[in-house]
Chains A and B, each alone.
Chain A
Amino acid sequence: MSMNLDANIPEGPLADKWQNFIANERLVNPSNKRKFKIIVVGTGLAGASAAATFGELGYEVEAFTFHDSPRRAHSISAQGGINAAKNYPGDGDSVHRLFFDTVKGGDFRAREANVHRLAEVSNEIIDQMVAQGVPFAREYGGLLDNRSFGGAQVSRTFYARGQTGQQLLIGAYQQLSRQIGLGNVKLWNRMEMVDIVNIDGRCAGIVCRDLLTGEFSSHSAHAVVLATGGYGNVFYLSTNAMSCNVTAAWRAHRRGAAFANPSYTQIHPTCIPQADDFQSKLTLMSESLRNDGRIWVPVSADETRTADQIPEDERDYYLERIYPSFGNLAPRDVSSRAAKRMVDAGQGVGPLKNGVYLDFADAIERLGRSTIEERYGNLFDMYERITGENPYETPMRIYPASHYTMGGLWVDYELMTTVPGLYAAGEANFSDHGANRLGASALMQGLSDGYFVLPYTISMYLSKLLNKPIPDASHEEFTKVENEARDRFANYLAIDGTQGPDYFHRKLGKIIWDYCGMDRDADGLRKALSDISSLHEEFKKDLKVTGSDKNVNQTLEKAGRVDDFFELGMLMCKDALNREESCGGHFRVEYQTDDGEAVRNDEDFAYVSAWEWTGDPLEPNEHKEQLEYEVVKFQTRSYK
């Protein structure tokens, strides 16, 4: 089957495309806006900001969240900051530089036009959030403070202590709350989207399961926006929140939305290493710590002394040694792999020898403890709460962990998936980060999509539907999809095997981490594909879900999510196997230089792989969107 992967990029030079789009877009008359209903699934940064803005514009909006409140989404956990090309410090930043850094950071696998737009609206985001009361850090003079962030040579990151994601999400939540209060947005809480419904070639609505009553319901709309986050929890152990899942995106994929670049997953270099076997999740320590911390391991693999006992000449500050110009600030994928190499070589630290040191002793000596406390106090406290160790006295132990997924639903310039009327925003789409995301860019993208992109682009589609009736939720297709969903969940309960969903999730995560994690190779990926497939079969036969489907049942919720992770996991491995190059978060051991650097293949792989569901998770169809670079020239990333 052919798939339309036309990205609908506007005419004109790169820097003018977004303004050209705005100048020429089809608008919806204010009095007609209330005739259009938009469903927004997810109330994180992208979802909340989109729903609030649609409400302000006058559309009829229904927002769905599976949390108890729109304030809980995982955007809240982002610590470090948000980038913008404000150039307040006057250190040479510009829209172009932010654009270029993002494309380069993404290892030349992102769509130029989307990234440029992201850089353009980055400044408006900061203005908007300050106007809404986000307490970004400020200098004594009262102006906004900036810091530099992993991989950037300018200070363009705005932050609110180590809680930037929280403050931005609360900002967007406040805007959404206002619209709910005014009656412009209807909020459905504790509702999980379990499928989408397509009628006559367009997305007609969604089917939800009420997490409190177990009831299924259909909701029709003119357009549906999925802002449902990333799929990093496929690894089981990740820094994602416990409920983060791929279900909404995956169900859309199964109904015809192409899934792009699933193998592009980001491993974050600074997480707290796993402490024992039953650990439920990993905790991220903001990358900003690398600004002042020095990363090292003992030179000897047999080292048994504590950190303070190891003399300077028996320490290997390996990032500073290998990447002298970027040192401890080398990009995430580069420093993650370096840490893995050290641990694999036996030089790991900690009781399980599964981490590397992030040492603040020099910084405390240079800047004083109070400065370090001011900058990272809450992170240090968090570290101490989790590990029981005081990082002011002993170095932190860190290790990479799955953190963010660049892949996601394929979208065009207008953020529409391959299903007309179905949009994807934020981490749920694939659009802006290429093969690797720069630090402090996730918040930027979520807010950009929600506040400044979708509100403009959605009218292009809606205007075509003016005064055309759309099927309501009583349409037979809704009934059919609703029944399928009902049966699916009834079946999880009916299997009555021996193991709960977490058992399978843990095993699945281990396979993916081992074979499709920080480095991948063809044999491993093939093995992973067959292992996942057989584990999935076991899941279908041996799953045990207790309780009923008539009230709250978190085991049942989890079963549905794990089921979808299986199929996604297979697609990830398939994509990773297919992409015979190393780029960004995707590192194939077969494609590296002698000293372990990634070897990209622009000749053959400068494209977006957009996968089509065929009904067999092992045999998806690949479609390609060739990436055309008008402005940026390919170059090998070097952080040496």
Chain B
Amino acid sequence: MAETLNRGPVSGTAVTSPAKRKPFFVDFYSTAVGKKYVMALTGMIGIGFVVVHMIGNLKMYLGVVNEGELRVYDIDWYGEFLRELLVPIMPRTYVLWGLRLLLIAAVLMHIHAAYSLTFLNRKARSVKYQSARDYQVANFASRTMRWTGIIVALFIVWHLADLTWGWANPDFIRGAPYHNIDTSLSRVPVAILYIVANIALGIHLFHGTWSLFQSMGWSSPRFDSWRRGLATAIATIIVVGNVSFPIAVLAGVIEFDPDAINCCIEGEEGG
């Protein structure tokens, strides 16, 4: 990047030595526009996951269901269903792990692209404006993406420690989501953490969902007016859905009752 003034004539600025093209992904990812593409694609994977995850969690509200002889919490049964996806075509948990790996890769790439673009953007304005800016349309969501992103990333780690690995929940029982959620979210500070993190997630999605259309170049007079609406809808649904769980737990709507079920908890190995 030019720092000082160059005087003298300018010529031959488009003449480049024919360089061998780099491998496709490296080539594409090397530009900011390419990185934004990757952010949009990985963002879509993230949105897809978050939506499905939230819908899956709604099974909390179905409570106990009868599966033949068995009485189980529906969400626990759903967890088992995920582990058994495509069985017997694939061995148990293989598909789930495939999806998890895809998700992990997406999150890592999303973070890497965000990190390097932030770095680039800092460099692009090395001297800041010395007077106050008066932003016209840049909203809170768009301007706080990197902060909401960091909050969500940290929350994911906590969330895994809390409800997947169980390190952060002394009452954790492997393979018993209903029980674990209840015990974890009954702790008021944890419930507040969930609420705050999900609001951050909603803000992140509000800009991210709209933004991905631009980054992907999906723009057409026919649906452009829908893009903002879709972003609002996704962000709202995710926040309302996810925030309802800690509230429901604290309100006693969701309450684990060991006597209500006759299966699958204590001693049974989950995946």
Contact = CB atoms under 8 A, between A and B. Distances in A.
The reply to whether A and B meet directly (CB within 8 Å) is yes
Interface of A: 62, 178, 180-189, 210, 212-213
B11 interface: yes
Contacts of A184: 11
Interface of B: 5, 7-15
Contact of B9 (A182, A188, A212, A213): A188
Nearest to A181: B14
B13 A180 contact: yes
A210 B6 CA distance: 12
B2 to A, nearest CB: 14
Contacts of B14: 178, 180-182
Nearest to B13: A181
A185 B7 contact: no
Nearest to A213: B7
A212 B4 CA distance: 12
Nearest to B16: A181
Contact of A212 (B7, B10, B12, B13): B7
A181 B15 contact: yes
Contacts of B13: 180-181
A181 B7 contact: no
Contacts of A178: 14
B6 to A, nearest CB: 10
Contacts of B8: 188
A185 B5 contact: no
A181 B12 contact: yes
21 contacts: A62-B9, A178-B14, A180-B14, A181-B13, A181-B14, A181-B15, A182-B12, A183-B11, A183-B12, A184-B11, A185-B11, A186-B9, A186-B10, A187-B9, A187-B10, A187-B11, A188-B9, A188-B10, A210-B7, A212-B7, A213-B7
Nearest to B15: A183
| Nearest 7 A/B pairs, CB to CB | A181-B14, A183-B12, A186-B9, A186-B11, A187-B10, A188-B9, A183-B11
A221 to B, nearest CB: 13
A212 B11 contact: no
Nearest to A187: B10
A189 B13 CA distance: 15
Contacts of B9: 62, 186-188
Contacts of B10: 180, 186-189
Contacts of A186: 9-11
Contacts of B5: 212
Q: Which of B7, B8, B10, B11 has the most CB of A within 10 A?
A: B11
Q: Which of B9, B12, B13, B14 has the most CB of A within 10 A?
A: B9
A182 B15 CA distance: 6
Contacts of A212: 5, 7
Nearest to B9: A186
A187 B10 CA distance: 5
Contacts of A182: 12, 14-15
B7 A180 contact: no
